[in-house]
Amino acid sequence: MSAVTQDPNVVGGESLDTTSRRVAGEPRRRRRPILPLIYWVVVGITMVPIVFMIVYSFNDVPTGRISFPWSGFTPYWYLNLGQVSGLTHAFATSIEIAVLSALISIVLGVPMSLAMERYRFWGRGALNATVYADIAAPSIVVGAASLSFFLSSSISTGFVTILLVHSTFNLAYVVVVLRARLSGAGTALEEAAGDLGASPVVAFRTVTLPLLLPGIIAGAMLSLAMSIDDYVITSFVAGPSVTFPLFVYGAAKVGLPPQVLCFGTIIFAVGLLLALVNALITRRAPRPAFDDE
């Protein structure tokens, strides 16, 4: 009798899970190292400008303007973010518009995506085409059309017009993200909550909203990124208001201050933190129930 104790989950050198998959006809998984390699090469290339931005935000340039010869490490620019006139106000304006437009897009996008995904109504096809046309339209066309509308309506351009335009194009992205989250998901859980006595409002708050939460966070993050990043459309409807991209473009003509790299690094760090939080919430969120039909 052998003294070695055999693992009951291993038969003939293969685990029971592997054996059961082969019996069920499931093909054996093959390792494809080339695909992860291509992924990491692409990610590495796209990260190069960001790494330079982070590193040179600590560059001790004597001229007070961004230059690429390394002159030494200093946190001075982070400790004096408000030293450049107009930069802090422009950054605050961009953040304020981004947060407000994201909130407006989520408030309007949740009922809109539920209606478009779960109900059939007159004009649904035209509304669907409008959403995708808003995404596909070139920024210069959207900016020129928005400016023409505001001028013909005698609406002064400024903070409010930027907020309206950003909310409009953010809404389209939020609807697409939420519809992807709802696609194929059934209404069995909401119906079960109704059978147990929950009102439609309670069923939405306790069942539908938790299912949509990862999509809501993803849509909000996408809206924040799109709004802070936008230059072309904003340049048409900004009027006297100055956002962060408009300030950077104007300052580039005479030399950018290092604080621009500091604000860019802060935006990247906050975005990365939000992405990690969203990934954590997505892993813990319940998966949508799918219809059996």
Residue 5: is its pLDDT beyond 80? no
- CA atoms of 138 and 121, how far apart (whole Å): 29
Distances (CA, A) of 232 to 38, 152, 226: 32, 20, 12
Q: pLDDT digit string (tens) for 37-96?
A: 898 899 899 889 899 899 989 988 887 787 778 888 889 999 988 888 888 999 999 999
Q: Chain-wide mean pLDDT for the chain?
A: 82
- CA atoms of 118 and 212, how far apart (whole Å): 14
- CA atoms of 214 and 268, how far apart (whole Å): 20
Name the pLDDT band for 285 (thresholds 50, 70, 90): low
**DSSP readout, 12-40?**
TTEEHHHHHHHHTTPPPP---THHHHHHH
pLDDT of the residue at 271? 84
Give the helix, strand, coil percentages of the chain, each rounded to 5: 70, 5, 30
Mean pLDDT of 149-177: 92
pLDDT of the residue at 4? 43
Please name the CATH architecture into which domain 81-255+262-283 falls. Answer: Orthogonal Bundle (1.10)
Burial (CB count within 10 angstroms: exposed 0-12, middle 13-18, buried 19+), residue 241 = buried
Name the pLDDT band for 2 (thresholds 50, 70, 90): very low
- CA atoms of 289 and 193, how far apart (whole Å): 13
Take residue 95 and report the two structure tokens written for it: 């953040």
pLDDT of the residue at 62? 80
Residue 15: is its pLDDT beyond 80? no
Q: What percent of the chain has pLDDT over 70?
A: 85
- CA atoms of 270 and 228, how far apart (whole Å): 13
pLDDT of the residue at 117? 85
Three-state DSSP class for residue 59 = strand
Domain boundaries, the chain: 81-255+262-283
Question: 236: closest CA among 178, 174, 169?
Answer: 169
pLDDT of the residue at 18? 52
Q: Angle between the 209-229 and 259-284 helix axes, to the nearest 10 degrees?
A: 170
Mean pLDDT of 128-154: 90
Name the pLDDT band for 280 (thresholds 50, 70, 90): confident
Take residue 17 and report the two structure tokens written for it: 């899970």
Largest CA distance in the chain: 96
Q: Where do the DSSP E strands lie in the chain?
A: 10-11, 14-15
Residue-wise burial string across 152-169, b where 16 or more C-beta atoms lie within 10 A, e elsewhere: eeeeebebebbbbbbbbb
Task: Let me know: does 175 contact 131? Beta carbons within 8 Å.
Answer: yes
Residue type, 80: N
Residue 131: is its pLDDT beyond 60? yes
Name the pLDDT band for 146 (thresholds 50, 70, 90): very high
Q: pLDDT digit string (tens) for 197-241?
A: 777 788 888 888 888 888 898 889 889 989 988 999 999 999 889
Mean pLDDT of 18-45: 71
